[in-house]
Chains A and B, each alone.
Chain A
């Protein structure tokens, strides 16, 4: 049997947007918005997503989108949802679409608070592991040793595990997803859509320019991230119930790292250390199931 996709889509995300050719984030937006459907209001902070959403007076998203400040996505989304609810428009989804900078870093306070209040919103972090829109600076989502323009010698510290932190808030739903697994991603969006309360999904979206990846490789790279165990696909319900959605095929991390020029300076020892770390993380994750 072969792996194939059957994704019901409603065209909410439009063509003609300003994403770079082959952009992983644009692909993620397609799956997310087309799955959420037109009964949705979006919140977008400064990020590539804001660029992709279109220059005034054009939008690539056929839903109302509010562009907020970098740190305020979760609070802004909460404001919309509450205002919709008091008007009786309770069926409308409110989705925040933020980058990793706006989530892991500057937006984390508002995000954590929204989670604590169990705001009835879907918060999606499109994680390209750095401030890519400003020219590839490190964020707390940037992995250990990755080159960015603010860590030219490689990032000295590791990537913040945002999914685990959000799971610790014991919100109804936390999931990881990526564009290489569109059926998994859309299934998670559908599942989140059916739930109430705070839902958080972090979607790994390779940045071609920022990672040093050819235009056609976003999907392949994202799949390798999963199949090496670097970015496992899983979900956590109510902070307790862990489900690993895809058993990594055990591809060595080296295969993934070699697809990206941001890792080209790595030594064999460093790669081995990353491998060991990934192995430990996978063991830890499996134990939680």
Chain B
């Protein structure tokens, strides 16, 4: 009878479905893709913002900082003065407020100073020497990237100290000298040949350098101030903003009188205005640009207003008349003006019957500067009076920073220095006729061109959490001197704020794709932390992993069958 029992198992189930090939049902396959976040996309230095924010959130603080300084050696500086377009593009802005990336950069920058963290040392030493003319943000950034790659760099600076605008123009209340000094000191530890008080004056001077160095990078800034013809024939005190700011930074107190009108709409204008406030003046700012088009950093404009600046946007001065001995009446009119990056003289349309007057003891002019191009070959100077990028690169001559661009932000200058350094390295490798391992940072680049959109973020996973702002010191204190206005975040605040990051397009190993696969076709790679792969045998292509990725780091790709 045992025989009978043995026949029974036709109805017992002893096999497993994992031998099945349900992947054949699929018409699309999910792929993991490191995609551009909008912050990184707009970041002038192409900063790996989501990556370092995640490190910060996980309290891997030095790693976070190292990620920043891979592209920018001055996070404590830019954490204060960057115009941070990353925040205006931040996808979280549409949800419950952008992530305070700038304040987090400051936090890490300050922490690095406090902890004495060092920049990464060159991994190798190269023979080639590169001359960097100009020790401002662009020059220093370029020098840093070249040194990091092992090249021998000489920095030529006409001033007695390095830093450029960072040192001579940006007011103390925004960027304390000590912060800059620390970051410069740390940079110089990498080993540069620095020649201070060395101005390249003549073409001959310059050609001499070109002969001595394998490549030359010119980033001399734009210090030649534009003047306003309407103010030329008057006894009125007119300051050029950079001169004014430099004097104040030196500790001097320029006699600007009680009523000051600043003309201009950029950061130098707002810096000048707020500096004048601190010297006790009543300040008005007159800009050609409308409020929305002001090139100045918005928070600066707002902070200035809060401090008492009165703005006249979309207006210009047409003339000036004295009132008594020390004061003047500025004749003004409303205009329509559209700024342009390419047009040196954008069109200004005067609006009829909009004349008005402003009383002023002095005027600070912040309407733009141009580079001094005297020492450089005429082929290098573009039609708009700037040093032209890309014009003489094949001859080892590279340009960058304010002297070659109207996009005059500190971060843009740092970015320029970094990008030109890449080109210089490429140029020198090309000269050698060898490619010694691609050190190009493009390796890490993302696959598709479009940054992750807000609609691709699954906001369920991000409970509403308001932004943590840097505390502003009380008004009376802030206007009484040049102490820094904004207090940096505490570590707890910084970590909290960093946790708000959606990490758009950047997988943070949250495991959602893994947990939400009904077919268990997503596998965690135990040997590669933070990576997943799809089992093609099982994946039915439903797209749940794509939908439930909080950050758009998984996409579906159609499969032709």
Using a CB–CB cutoff of 8 Å, the interface residues on chain A facing chain B are 1-7, 11, 13-24, 26-27, 30, 54, 56-60, 62, 65, 182, 214-220, 223
Closest approach, in angstroms, between the C-beta of B505 and any C-beta of chain A? 15
A residues less than 8 Å from B515 (CB atoms):
5, 7, 182
Option from B15, B510, B518, B541 in Cβ contact (under 8 Å) with A26: B518
A58 near B16 with CB under 8 A, answer yes
Give A22's nearest chain B residue, CB to CB.
Answer: B542
Most buried by B among A11, A62, A218: A218
Most buried by B among A19, A20, A58, A214: A58
B461 near A60 with CB under 8 A, answer no
Option from B13, B17, B546 in Cβ contact (under 8 Å) with A216: B546
A residues less than 8 Å from B16 (CB atoms):
14, 16, 54, 58-60, 62
B520 near A1 with CB under 8 A, answer no
CA distance A14 to B517 in the complex (A): 12
A56 near B499 with CB under 8 A, answer no
A residues less than 8 Å from B398 (CB atoms):
none
Closest approach, in angstroms, between the C-beta of A16 and any C-beta of chain B? 3
B519, CB-defined interface residue at 8 Å: yes
B392, CB-defined interface residue at 8 Å: no
A residues less than 8 Å from B21 (CB atoms):
16
A2 near B18 with CB under 8 A, answer no
Contacts A1-B465, A30-B520 given; does A57 touch B18 at CB 8 Å: no
B25, CB-defined interface residue at 8 Å: yes
CA distance A30 to B538 in the complex (A): 14
B542 near A215 with CB under 8 A, answer yes
CA distance A116 to B213 in the complex (A): 93
Sort A-B residue pairs by CB-CB distance and give the 6 closest, nearest first. A22-B542, A16-B20, A216-B543, A21-B540, A21-B542, A26-B518
Contacts A22-B540, A27-B518, A56-B13 given; does A16 touch B460 at CB 8 Å: no
B22, CB-defined interface residue at 8 Å: yes
B19 near A16 with CB under 8 A, answer yes
A57 near B520 with CB under 8 A, answer no
Chain B: interface size category: 35 or more
A residues less than 8 Å from B517 (CB atoms):
27
CB within 8 Å of A: which B450-497 residues: 460-463, 465
Given A3-B460, A23-B542, list of 15 further CB < 8 A pairs? A2-B499, A2-B550, A13-B520, A16-B16, A16-B21, A16-B519, A21-B518, A21-B540, A21-B542, A27-B544, A30-B518, A58-B16, A59-B16, A216-B544, A216-B547
Option from A27, A54, A214, A219 in Cβ contact (under 8 Å) with B17: A54
- 6 A-B pairs, CB-CB below 8 angstroms? A1-B499, A19-B519, A27-B544, A57-B13, A215-B544, A216-B547
CA distance A21 to B16 in the complex (A): 19
Contacts A11-B520, A14-B17, A58-B19 given; does A216 touch B461 at CB 8 Å: no
A57 near B14 with CB under 8 A, answer yes
CA distance A56 to B14 in the complex (A): 9
A21 near B541 with CB under 8 A, answer yes
B510 near A15 with CB under 8 A, answer no
CA distance A215 to B543 in the complex (A): 7
Contacts A2-B510, A219-B516 given; does A17 touch B17 at CB 8 Å: yes
Interface string of B61-99 (1 = CB under 8 A from A): 000000000000000000000000000000000000000
Option from B25, B510, B520, B535 in Cβ contact (under 8 Å) with A4: B510
A5 near B512 with CB under 8 A, answer yes
Option from A1, A3, A19, A62 in Cβ contact (under 8 Å) with B518: A19
CA distance A141 to B436 in the complex (A): 68
CA distance A234 to B499 in the complex (A): 29
Contacts A2-B510, A57-B15, A60-B16 given; does A16 touch B22 at CB 8 Å: yes
B25 near A21 with CB under 8 A, answer yes
A2 near B462 with CB under 8 A, answer yes
Interface string of B517-557 (1 = CB under 8 A from A): 11111000000000000010110111110111010000000
A residues less than 8 Å from B17 (CB atoms):
14-18, 54, 58-60
Contacts A216-B542, A219-B516 given; does A15 touch B22 at CB 8 Å: yes
CA distance A223 to B19 in the complex (A): 33
Closest approach, in angstroms, between the C-beta of B50 and any C-beta of chain A? 13
CA distance A218 to B22 in the complex (A): 19
CA distance A17 to B17 in the complex (A): 6
B13 near A58 with CB under 8 A, answer yes
CA distance A218 to B511 in the complex (A): 17
Contacts A30-B518, A220-B547 given; does A15 touch B538 at CB 8 Å: yes
CA distance A98 to B188 in the complex (A): 71
Give B521's nearest chain A residue, CB to CB.
Answer: A15
B544 near A58 with CB under 8 A, answer no
Option from B499, B520, B547 in Cβ contact (under 8 Å) with A217: B547
B520 near A15 with CB under 8 A, answer yes
A residues less than 8 Å from B511 (CB atoms):
4-6
A residues less than 8 Å from B520 (CB atoms):
11, 13-15, 30
B residues less than 8 Å from A20 (CB atoms):
540
Give B496's nearest chain A residue, CB to CB.
Answer: A1
CA distance A286 to B179 in the complex (A): 55
B residues less than 8 Å from A6 (CB atoms):
511
B18 near A16 with CB under 8 A, answer yes
B residues less than 8 Å from A27 (CB atoms):
516-518, 544
CA distance A139 to B30 in the complex (A): 35
B residues less than 8 Å from A7 (CB atoms):
515
A residues less than 8 Å from B463 (CB atoms):
1-3
Closest approach, in angstroms, between the C-beta of A207 and any C-beta of chain B? 13
B18 near A15 with CB under 8 A, answer yes
Closest approach, in angstroms, between the C-beta of B522 and any C-beta of chain A? 10
Option from B11, B499, B547 in Cβ contact (under 8 Å) with A219: B547
Closest approach, in angstroms, between the C-beta of B555 and any C-beta of chain A? 12
A residues less than 8 Å from B465 (CB atoms):
1
A residues less than 8 Å from B548 (CB atoms):
219-220
CA distance A21 to B519 in the complex (A): 8
B544 near A219 with CB under 8 A, answer yes
Option from A4, A11, A26, A30 in Cβ contact (under 8 Å) with B461: A4
A3 near B461 with CB under 8 A, answer yes
Most buried by B among A6, A24, A56, A214: A56
Contacts A4-B512, A21-B540 given; does A15 touch B519 at CB 8 Å: yes
CA distance A245 to B542 in the complex (A): 29
A223 near B460 with CB under 8 A, answer yes
Closest approach, in angstroms, between the C-beta of B546 and any C-beta of chain A? 6
A residues less than 8 Å from B18 (CB atoms):
14-16, 60
A residues less than 8 Å from B547 (CB atoms):
216-217, 219-220
Contacts A3-B461, A26-B518, A218-B544 given; does A15 touch B14 at CB 8 Å: no
CA distance A7 to B511 in the complex (A): 10
A residues less than 8 Å from B516 (CB atoms):
27, 182, 219
B residues less than 8 Å from A4 (CB atoms):
461, 510-512
Closest approach, in angstroms, between the C-beta of B291 and any C-beta of chain A? 36
Most buried by A among B462, B540, B550: B540
Contacts A59-B13, A60-B17 given; does A17 touch B460 at CB 8 Å: no
CA distance A21 to B22 in the complex (A): 9
A59 near B15 with CB under 8 A, answer yes
Closest approach, in angstroms, between the C-beta of B31 and any C-beta of chain A? 15
A residues less than 8 Å from B535 (CB atoms):
15
Give A14's nearest chain B residue, CB to CB.
Answer: B18
B519 near A17 with CB under 8 A, answer yes
Give B547's nearest chain A residue, CB to CB.
Answer: A216
B residues less than 8 Å from A59 (CB atoms):
13, 15-17
Give B459's nearest chain A residue, CB to CB.
Answer: A2
CA distance A219 to B542 in the complex (A): 12
